[in-house]
Homo-oligomer: A and B are copies of this chain.
Amino acid sequence: MEVDFGDDGLVPAVAQDADSGAVLMLAYVSPAALEATLETSTAHYYSRSREELWEKGATSGHTQSVEEVRVDCDADALLYLVDQTGGACHTGHRSCFYRTIEGDNVGERVFDPNAVYDSEDGNEIGNEDTSEDD
């Protein structure tokens, strides 16, 4: 399938837990990230904050094994069906969508981010860019 990467060369990708069906995260994918994902069956994205190819879990070990990649009707969005190791979210939650719009925390925390991310290498918790830390 031809993917429409649009003007900015990126498409949004939804990562969904292949077993539970939980929506884990939304990130962006470049042509190189899609190619790496398909070649390795490990989820790759493009980090807009770091402006580089981003292998999910390269730092944290919380990789995503990709079972299938789907394309939407007009080919400008992707769905990654994944087996998630640990948690998808840099906050320690299984899913990045752990809060309701009202602010209630409805998500499961599965790891301690302070034990996983080294704040000295720039992956500081609380920085708004850290959602794209893996």
Residues of A whose CB lies within 8 Å of any CB of B are: 1, 3-4, 12, 14, 16, 20-23, 25-26, 34, 38, 68-74, 76-79, 89-91, 93, 96-103, 106, 128, 130-131
**Residues in B neighbouring A130, C-beta threshold 8 A:** 74
Number of copies: 2
Query: Known: A22-B21, A23-B23. Is A69-B14 also a contact (CB below 8 A)?
Result: no
Nearest CB on B from A64, distance (A): 15
**Residues in B neighbouring A38, C-beta threshold 8 A:** 101
Our pick among B21, B34, B131 for the contact of A21 (Cβ within 8 Å) is B21
Alpha-carbon distance A14/B26, docked complex (angstroms): 9
**Contact present for B73 and A131 (CB under 8 Å):** yes
